[in-house]
Structure formats: C-alpha cells, structure tokens
Structure 1
Amino acid sequence: MARSSADVADLGIWRREPGTVVRRAAPVPVGAEAPFVILAESQVPGVPTEWEPHAHPLHELVWVRGGTLMSRVVDRVFTVSEGQGLWMPAGVVHGGRLTAGVEFHDAFFAPEHTPVAFDGPTAIEMTPLLESLLGHLARTDLDAEARARAEAVVFDVLVPSERPFTLRLPGDARIDAIAEALLADPADNRSLEEWARALGTSDRTVTRAFRRSTGLSFAQWRQALRVHRALTLLSEGWDVRTVAEELGYAQPSTFIAAFRRVVGTTPGAYFGTAPDSAPGVRNAVSNVANS
C-alpha cells in the first residue's frame, strides 16, 4: 500500500526527499505461505521510497545496488550501500528509506531452518558469491535438491561485515535533543558550548553524555552522522562540492578529509569515481593528506 509522504510521520532519520512514497510492508512476502528456508526477491521502486516501521516473523537480509538504504532501529542508524547488507532478526521493529532508482534486494529466512544467529541487527558482507547465490535462489524453477545445496552454501558465507556503517544514537535524555536536531539537519554547526547553553547544562555534561552513550565525542559523532548522510547524497549523483556545502563544511577538502577519517578512503575511491572533485579539490585534498 503506497501513500504520499505527507500522510505519515517521519521516521526521524533525514529530511524526506521530495516525491518520497511511503509504503506499509507486508508481514511476510508472497510465497512464504509454502514451506521454505530462504525466499529471495528484488525490485526497483524508481522513486525515493520509505517503509513505515514494521517487523517480520522471519529473519530478513536486505542489500542494494546503485544507491543506499537508510534504516533506523531503536538506538542505531544503519547506512547500507553496495557491498554491504543488513540482517534484521525476526521480530525486530525497523523502517527504512531507499534513494531513487536503487535496485533493492531482500531475502527472508525461516527462523526454524536458519543455523546462523546474529546478536541483533547486523551489517553483512555482501560478497559476489553471496549475492549470486541469493539471486539463484530467487528463481522459481529450482528443484528441492538444487535449492538445498545453494542454501547450505549461503549459510557458510553469511558473515558480518568488517566495516559496518552504523551510528549509535545517544538514548540519553540530556542530549537526545541534539541528536534529533542533527538528524533533521546535519549541517547544523552549533558548537558544543552553544548546545550546552540551549539545553541549560554544561559543556562537561554534554561531553560526558556523548562519550558514555555513543563512545564518541560530540564532534566525532556529528562527523560520523554527516558521513552517513553523505553516502546517500553521493550515491544519488551529488558532486563532492555540493555535498560538502549541504552538510555544513566550509571547504570540500575538509569534507573529504572527514569522510576518509570515518570510512577509511575518499568519496571518489569509495564509489569508484575519481577524482573527488569539483575544480581545485584534488590539490586541496592532497595538501590535507600531507599536512
């Protein structure tokens, strides 16, 4: 069931993109009524798409090509881009947003026949072999023996990612207002001191609360949040300079350096589209890297 974005409350991840269609997910996919172990499917929505918070009685694995999926699960925000997937255990309430035109894949796993277990929502390494096997299992002409062989290999290669893009939300009443405001507007450049004054508390209290609840300083947490948002914008084809401006960075080189600190590489290298630039950015990045 699809509804316009104006009819449904925001998931509290990012500002909703214009033209977003909000959908209500079915509890179980078509075909789950029959006995199955892994049931895979895919779709290309064509427009920015959001699923309302929901849960399944089945385990679910989602992954994408040509864009990103954002999901907020209780106290964490996950960014799923190419090469990664997100495992959602049965019964966990979650919602998600897809960028426009993304190729969206998901696979459902019958809990009683799934010999792997993860401690909550987990980023999964989507290797070419795993993607190929799940694509194979989406076929409707497989006999029982062929399906069982493929499923056995899936469980062998289903492993957590070594570089999950996960951001923990504070869950602390003293600073939750800061987190929600930055989720709504990552470009908000108010300093730690300004936030403390606005909340009627001290810099030290805000600093300790962020460290205790997220493991990061306020500045590190905001930087990580901005990079999560950048992954979505870059996957939609935004250039580096425009993304930097959108996220409140004075210079593209500053944004690229922040992206590299969080992700381990530059935006251009991550997306396989060198250089990381609008004009002049490449030299600026080199200067930052060598300083």
Structure 2
Amino acid sequence: MVRSSRGESTPGMWRREAGTVVRRALALPEQAAAPSSIVAGFRVVPVPTEYPPHEHELHELVWVRGGTLTSRVRNSVFTVFGGHGLWMPAGMVHEGRATAGAEFFHAFFAPEHTPFAYGEPKAIAMTPLLESLLTHLSRTDLDAAARARAESVVFDVMRPSERQFALQLPGDPRIDAIAAALLDDPADCRSLEEWARRLGTSDRTITRAFRQTTGLSFAQWRQMLRVHRALALLAEGSEVATVSEMLGYAQPSSFIAAFRRVMGTTPGAFFGAADGISGHVRNPVSRDQNS
C-alpha cells in the first residue's frame, strides 16, 4: 500500500492528488433487478475520485472519455483510456481512480443472462457501435423487445481489445520497496545499482526478481509504469513537456521515445487516434460514477 505525501493510504496505484474525493461504490441501478441482461449508465467526475476496494454481484464494463480510469485488481494495475473499456467479472474485488473531468460510463451484465464470461479483467475495444448500443440501453423507456434486440447485438459485437494494457506489480518482498517508491513518485531516477545498495542486495537479485514476477527488466517495468502515469496526465490536458518533467525524463524527446516504445506511437498521435475511435473530441477538463 502506497502512502501519499499527506500520509494517507492510497489504493496502491498513484500518489493521491490534492482535492481527491473518496467515494463508496454505489448500489447497482434499480433496473438491475429487472429481467434484462444489461443496465448501462453515465456520470461525470468533476474532481479526482477514488473508489476503495469493492465488488459487484454483476459483471461490469467501464469506459471513459476525456480522462482515464486506473483500476487495481490484486497485483495488476489497469489503465482505461479513450477507445478502450475494462471488463470486471462479477465478484472480483477491485479499486479505482478516475481523473478529474472524466466522463465515466458503465454497464452491468447479469451473469445468468450473459452468453459469455471473461473470468479475468480484460480490456474491451469500445467501438462506436458498441458505445452507441450501450448508450441506447441506458434509456429507461425501452420496451422488453427493443431492449432484447439491442442486448443481443452487444453480445455479438463485444470483443477484447488488441492491447491489454496492464502493469503487473511485483508482490515480492525483495523489490516491493522499489515498486512502492516508483508508484509514489514515477520520477524517481535511482539506478539499479543505487537500489541494490539501498536494499542491501545485488543488482542481479533485483533483476531476477523483476523478471520472475513481472516478466520485465527493472528498466522496462519503470518505463511501463511511467507510461501508465503519463496516460492519465496527458488525458487531463497536461502538456508533453510538463509530463516529461513530472516523470523524470531529461528532455521531452526522451519521454516521447519511451512512450513510442510502449504504445507504438507518439503521445499526440495516440490521443488523436483514441479520440477518433470514441467519436468524441477530448475535453481535458470536462465532467462521476462508481467503478
């Protein structure tokens, strides 16, 4: 568990921002008791918002516009950004954090009426068609036949995203202190050798522990963590140069190169593509719902 600079516990993700609101997970919509398969809704998050560990009786799909959602499930951190959603299986304990201004959408799926099941959290491709169908299902005036038709198409078109963007946390006492420090401050630039001296171990031990627990080297893991954080900062409207400095890069070009290595494109091109996928112009400071 990471501690913020104010000494408060945070959800093992990023340092808690000033002005963050902590909300309990809200009760499921009343329509969830109806015999329908899917209940969808929408809310705007005006300030940074955290949702402590909770679970739902139904499967949940969440997606955002104009911001990001970070969700922690066991030792994995998922970042949800434009054009992608996150499927959370029923009964799985998770916690989340939405950036200020995020338009937060959700859909709950009754397990007994859902013809498929992803047993683990999974990134979902939020195509314009899927978003439109789920927005349509958020209406309360649909008759049973119209709702059933729309739900059947949702099940036909929902597909996992080609990019499953998750950060695996080590969960290893040999290197947990490194992970906690970097989550609290991604700009921490201490080298492998410096961490080895600090922890009274060898750089080979740290390297081996990272490989065994995350599948990445220490440098690769730190780079991945920084890109996760960058997605939230950029989605909120921060400039590339500002994000570069906040994440400990000597110059913006180094940050852009690191972002490209992880995401396959530059920050500007990436968010342009995400806006096109969602069919929505990104508003860095626009508009809350439970995760």
Give yes or no for TM over 0.5.
yes
Partner of 2:97: 97
CA distance in 2, matches of 1:155, 1:36: 13
CA distance in 1, matches of 2:72, 2:184: 13
How does 1:27-42 map onto structure 2 within 5 Å? 27-42=27-42
| Superposed CA offset, 1:139-165 (max 9, x none) | 111111111111111111111110122
Q: Is 1:266 aligned to 2:278, yes or no?
A: no
Amino acid in structure 2 at the alignment position of 1:186? P
Q: CA deviation at 1:203?
A: 0.8
TM-score (norm 2): 0.89
How does 1:1-291 map onto structure 2 within 5 Å? 9-272=9-272
Q: CA deviation at 1:46?
A: 1.1
Residue segments in structure 1 that go unaligned for 5+ positions in a row: 1-5, 274-291
Q: Which runs of 4+ in 1 moved over 4 A?
A: none
| Superposed CA offset, 1:151-203 (max 9, x none) | 11111111111012211111112111111111111000010111111111111
Where 2:33 maps in the other structure, the secondary structure is coil
Bigger RCO of structures 1 and 2 (CA < 8 A, at least 6 apart)? 2
Overall identity of the aligned pairs, in %: 72
Aligned length: 268
CA distance in 2, matches of 1:186, 1:111: 38
Amino acid in structure 1 at the alignment position of 2:265? T
CA distance in 2, matches of 1:49, 1:31: 25
- The answer on whether the counterparts of 1:27 and 1:57 sit within 8 Å (CA) in structure 2 is no
Residue segments in structure 2 that go unaligned for 5+ positions in a row: 1-5, 274-291
Amino acid in structure 2 at the alignment position of 1:58? L
TM-score (norm 1): 0.89
Q: CA deviation at 1:8?
A: 6.7
CA distance in 2, matches of 1:57, 1:200: 45
CA distance in 2, matches of 1:145, 1:8: 50
Where 1:51 maps in the other structure, the secondary structure is strand
Q: CA deviation at 1:36?
A: 2.3
For the aligned residue pairs, the C-alpha RMSD in angstroms reads 1.4
- The answer on whether the counterparts of 2:45 and 2:99 sit within 8 Å (CA) in structure 1 is no
The alpha-carbon distance between structure 1 residues 244 and 103, as it changes in their structure 2 partners (threshold 3 A), is same
